[in-house]
Amino acid sequence: DVVMTQSPVSLPVTLGQPASISCKSSQSLVYIDGKTYLSWFQQSPGQPPRRLIYQVSKRDSGVPDRFSGSGSGTDFTLKINRVEAEDVAIYYCMQGTHPFTFGGGTRVEIK
């Protein structure tokens, strides 16, 4: 199975400051069709997950543009441009190439 490793596990951030979460896969996530199936999900307390980003960098409808995804191959990053209070949540990366695995999660909290 492909292992997805996220870091850090916990990320204290000051409101208005940027945040960055890393996700590394144990194998390349480039599929035979040339696409890279790496998504990011946000899970707020007591809520189901919500997809923010798919195929590395495509933002889902309604997702604020302060969220962005980047990366390639085995290394990926989710960035929050300026953290707001509503961004307190656990963030998961997920690969959909081999076929599906979630990372362990990163808890974003306000300092």
Give the residues lining the site for another protein (CB under 8 A): 1, 37, 39, 41, 43, 48-51, 54-55, 58, 60, 90, 92, 94, 96, 99-105
Q: Which CB, 1 or 33, lies closer to another protein?
A: 1
Distance CA 12, CA 68 (A): 19
Q: Which CB, 19 or 37, lies closer to another protein?
A: 37
Q: In terms of Cα–Cα distance, which of 76, 77, 97, 78 is closest to 29?
A: 97
Q: How far is the CB of 68 from another protein (least distance, A)?
A: 17
Contacts for 24 with CB less than 8 Å, ≥ 6 apart? 4, 5, 6, 7, 74, 75, 76
Q: Which CB, 90 or 108, lies closer to another protein?
A: 90
